[in-house]
Amino acid sequence: MKLFPENFWWGSATSAPQSEGASLQDGKSPSIWDHWFKTEPNRFHNNVGCADASTFYDNWKDDIALMKQLGHNSFRTSISWSRLIPNGTGEVNPKAIDFYNNVINELIAHEIEPFINLFHFDMPMCMQDKGGWESREVVEAYAVYAKTCFELFGDRVKHWFTFNEPIVPVEGGYLYDFHYPNIVDFKRAATVAHNTLIAHSKAVIAYRELKFDGKIGIILNLTPSYPRSQNPADLKASEIADWFFNRSFLDPVTKGQYPTGLVELLTEHKQLPETVEGDSTILKQGIVDLLGVNFYAPRRAQAPKYARHADAIFMPELFFDDYVMPNRKMNPHRGWEIYEKGIYDIAKIIQNEYDNIEWFIAENGMGVEGEEKFNIDGQIQDDYRIEFVKDHLTWLHKAIEEGANCRGYHLWTFIDCWSWANSYKNRYGWIALDLKTQKRTIKKSGEWIAQVSKYNGFE
């Protein structure tokens, strides 16, 4: 048996916009996702928005019972800012308070520890109208929203997270046009990233001032950067990719400062974000107690094949090219490389370069398009997902045996959920969701993870 440490967190993760549904009910205001779908539904797979999502808003009680059946002792979701404070600031929505209280209390009643995240890509549209994360007014509003959440739920919630994958709104909304507001401008992207980190720090400061006995952290998607070769040009390309996509957030939240190399690079190209006096002090106060790590696939980089054109738009890809490794292992249903050892490499980086901070796998998972073809006698026979998770856990177990301070593993996700512009194209859950009937059915992998959780390990 590969046994895991005592009190290891077994569970799953989701978010408010991807699971709740009821996106404009009971006083909730539109988020950027409601607005974008209303204005450009064709940008979404099969023209499906988040209005209904996976109906957790209506089915939370039964869904939490299913979590218990899967052996969960922990579960991560998020609070919707636009549900709790519909105007972004000011009056709090009493129906939202009731809903989140019910969810938190029900989880605790089933001995499932609530892990609560404050922001999962879902900026209230009224705050986006003020400039979103480019606006310091919005940063201050977020800090008040965070404090409100702590005051309402902090007596029971002991694990808080300020943001999930904060680099994704930067990439999607301000660099690569796959999230609203669909801007392509690196300097504005850098300002969004910086202001997000200031917002994070202000939330951390607020939490610690309230003197709750829990922990506060952040969840980062880390994609280990592997060079094509040991040639110095490939090594440098990989290092720069790592600065942009990993350490740009990892260093500030664990060390209180940006990577020196990244700062020098952005200074050279006049791409530093807009800052305010005192920001460096605020940044230093945002060092986390606990780090969540999302890992899906590696990043492979090589030196750029062509010289940069003088008039080229500044982008990270000016400094590296993606490298497609021959004979790599693939998820044929999703198009992503599978590299299980990456989870071990992340663990060793955190152990050796980041003071072995307490952390956990906050997301890992295998998306499958057309998963219904694996339905046999009413159940999804997802042996491929069992193999995927088992292989990743094997490498994680090795890292823990070598001293990595990893406390848990959460799969993305509990139940097949709506996934941004991809809608329901790819399925990730332990539990299958029938979109027409909303019927929930435990997959073969769900039965397997229940046994893993029961015995705190596997053969």
426 φ/ψ sector (left φ>0, alpha ψ -120 to 50, else beta): beta
Predicted confidence at residue 309, as pLDDT, reads: 84
Tell which residue, 172, 161, 171, 153, has the closest CA to residue 199.
161
The pLDDT mean for the chain works out to 97
Q: What pLDDT is stored for residue 408 in this prediction? A: 98
Which is more confident, 308 or 444? 444
Per-residue confidence (pLDDT) for residue 344, from 0 to 100 = 98
Does residue 356 come out as left (phi exceeding 0), alpha (psi in the -120 to 50 range) or beta? left
| Overall average pLDDT of the 36-52 stretch | 92
Model pLDDT, residue 311: 84
Residue 264 known to be catalytic = no
Q: Give CATH for domain 2-458.
A: 3.20.20.80
With H, G, I as helix, E, B as strand and everything else as coil, classify residue 442: strand
447 part of the active site: no
Residue range 136-167, pLDDT digits in tens: 999 999 999 999 999 999 999 999 999 999 99
Residue 371, C-beta contacts closer than 8 angstroms, at least 6 positions apart:
333, 380, 382, 416, 427, 432
pLDDT for position 406: 98
Of 20, 106, 113, 165, which one is the catalytic site residue? Answer: 165
Q: Is the pLDDT of residue 118 over 90?
A: yes
Question: Annotated catalytic residue: which of 171, 239, 363, 371?
Answer: 363
HSE (side-chain half, CA atoms, 13 Å) at 238: 19
Query: What is the dihedral angle through the alpha carbons of 251, 256, 262, 267, rounded to the nearest 10 degrees?
Result: 170
Where do the structural domains in the chain lie, given as residue ranges? 2-458
**Cα–Cα distance, 118 to 314 (Å, whole number):** 31
Task: State how far the alpha carbon of 333 is from the alpha carbons of 136, 337, 338, 366, 373, in Å.
Answer: 41, 11, 12, 9, 12
d(Cα 122, Cα 133) in Å, to the nearest integer?
A: 12
What pLDDT is recorded for position 297?
Answer: 95
Q: Would you state the pLDDT for residue 307?
A: 84
CA 352 to chain centre: 23
Which phi-psi region, left, alpha or beta, contains residue 380 (left: φ > 0; alpha: ψ -120 to 50)? beta
* 383 C-beta neighbours (distance < 10 Å), count: 12
Digit-coded pLDDT (tens) for 261-284: 999 999 999 999 999 999 999 999
> Tens digit of pLDDT for each residue in 304-341?
998 888 788 999 999 999 999 999 999 988 889 999 99
pLDDT for the residue 287:
98
% pLDDT > 70, the chain: 100
Q: List, in sequence order, every residue forming a beta bridge with 115; answer none if it has no partner.
A: 76, 159
Contact 114, 149 (CB under 8 A): no
